[in-house]
Amino acid sequence: MTGYWVSVVTEDWKFRMVTPRKGNFGGVPLNAEGRRVADRWESPKDEARPLPCSYYGAAALMRVPGRLHISWDNDTTLKIETDAGTQTRLFHFGATPSEGIEPSGQGYSVAAWEFARTGRGQPRKGDLKIVTANLLPGYLRTNGVPYSANAVLTEYYDRLRGPNGDEWLVVTTEVRDPQYLTMPFLTSTHFKKLPDAIGWDPQPCRAE
């Protein structure tokens, strides 16, 4: 999975490429409290929030259009850097969540390969599973759809090859948040691999 990838917006264009109008929560299973919080959103005021990167927290970061740089930080830690919002995620293999870890926008992510069966003599293939907790509150969408510090994020990273040889990364995301959601919020996000760092242009996080 290492290298550079660019997001290809194949679904939810109106929610990902532009800021939806206030009160447009289509597709997000918000409960009454979640709707109440989202209805209080006002973009100009959010610019001055104590957490100005709330749009770029782990629960929504992979949905933000932009580029990824995936590399190994060390033998047991996979690193994903984003040019959108200049964020960094660390996926820890062989780790267990710790209650003593300080909450942050990207939280603490525990990683594991889920290996699939293959034919004799073929290399083992596996999908990457990530479970992230210890999150600060943030937004699922740029119009103030919230998730809380109680949210738990589960992701599956699948690398695929198209008929023409293009390499794709599909990230399936499940957000569980008993404070604001009535059921898990599921999305699927697509990235295409790039030959090099072309177009890589990190930009600081900002309110949209």
Q: How many residues does the chain have?
A: 208
pLDDT digits (tens, 9 = 90+) for 129-156: 999 999 999 999 989 999 999 999 999 9
Q: What angle do CA 108, 143, 68 make, to 5 degrees?
A: 45
5 Cβ partners below 8 Å, 6+ apart? 67, 68, 70, 169, 191, 192, 193, 194
Q: Would you put residue 60 in left (φ > 0), alpha (ψ -120 to 50) or beta? A: alpha
The per-residue pLDDT for range 152-203, each reduced to its tens digit, is 999 999 999 999 999 999 999 999 999 999 999 999 999 999 999 999 999 9
For position 208, what pLDDT does the model report? 47
Residue 207 has pLDDT above 70, yes or no: no
Q: Nearest 5 degrees, angle CA 34-CA 16-CA 107?
A: 60
**Where does the pLDDT of residue 50 fall: very low under 50, low under 70, confident under 90, or very high at 90 and above?**
very low
Residue 95 is predicted with a pLDDT of 84
In this predicted structure, what is the pLDDT of residue 19?
84
3-state secondary structure 32-62: HHHHHHHHCCCHHHHCCCCCCCHHHCHHHHC
Report if pTM > 0.95.
no
Mean pLDDT value across residues 60-76: 96
Q: Write out pLDDT tens, residues 14-34.
A: 888 988 888 999 899 999 999
DSSP string, 71-84: EEEETTEEEEEESE
Q: Where are the domains of the chain?
A: 3-194
Q: Residue 4: which of 172, 192, 202, 156 has the closest Cα?
A: 192
Is the separation of the CB atoms in 147 and 33 below 8 Å? Answer: no
Q: By three-state DSSP, how is residue 13 classified? A: helix
- pLDDT at position 14 is 87
